[in-house]
Amino acid sequence: MRGGRMFPDFLPIDIQKLTAADAIALAQTIQREPVDTPLADTPIPTAFVQQGDGEPPILLLHGFDSSVLEFRRLFPLLAAKTQTWAMDLLGFGFTDRIHSPAFDPGAIKLHLYSFWRQRIGRPIVLVGASMGGAAAIDFVLTYPDCVEKLVLIDAAGFATAPAIGKLMMPPLDGWATAFLRSPKVRRQISQKAYCDRSFVTPDAELCAALHLQLPNWKEALIAFTQSGGYGFLSQKIAQIHHSTLILWGRQDKILRQKDASRFEQVIANSQLIWMPDCGHMPHLEKPQLSAQHILEFLGD
């Protein structure tokens, strides 16, 4: 454990700068354990948190260039009612980026399945936020028996591949990742993601950037972006047959409002709930209301 407050040793030293109780509490419980995958000869150290008891288990998937710390407010509310997991997807967060040769959606899905099989091993309620929503859709379409219900929070899926992918070639790739690493740029993105900009605190900015200090952040981000991300999903979403809850911030300025309605239209067994006074991340702006809707959905 790291000195001062007790944190796992694999977390960056700047973790000691956290002051918000919810962020500190979740960070102190992050584990990193090896997961055997078909991707590499050696297991991939994978970061996750797990708390609570009860059925069905919930698994939370974070958004693009994020980590489990994204769920610092929602996670404890769900864990108080049922077994709850959150994990860092391959190439992101505090999951190891050294051992895997690939960081595309296919590799992310194989890694996610390997984690589910070795750690959970029974049907889950899969919750995906933003890019994590696209990862959840890709997973449920390939491994439908692993998922009991699906929750999409301001999810990607209908969005096209990011234009920045065209820049991910030397030397532009280095410039692009340097741009994304900039504290000023990350602050501007955060301000756009929230309806209430008072949520963009120094602690929130630190939570959103700590994983950048781990090895191969740049290389993994370039590889994922070059792959085209989840731009291939839009024509497959109608194949989802699981009961699906769609939570969407009324003031989302990152993804289009019409995508929320489109999800509801093409997923046969779905319901859309608009989250008032929320931007792109209802689980951070309105965690109690988000938890309430998810837990009610579990009980339906």
The catalytic residue positions are 130, 252, 280
Q: Are 25 and 91 in contact (CB under 8 A)?
A: no
Round to whole Å and give the CA distance between 64 and 161.
13
Q: How many residues comprise the chain?
A: 300
C-alpha distances (whole Å) from 114 to each of 14, 35, 107, 146, 222 are 30, 7, 11, 11, 24
131-142 vs 105-115: helix crossing angle, rounded to 10: 70
Residue 29 tokens, joined: 């419980």
DSSP H or E run through 168: none
Number of H helices, E strands in the chain: 11, 8
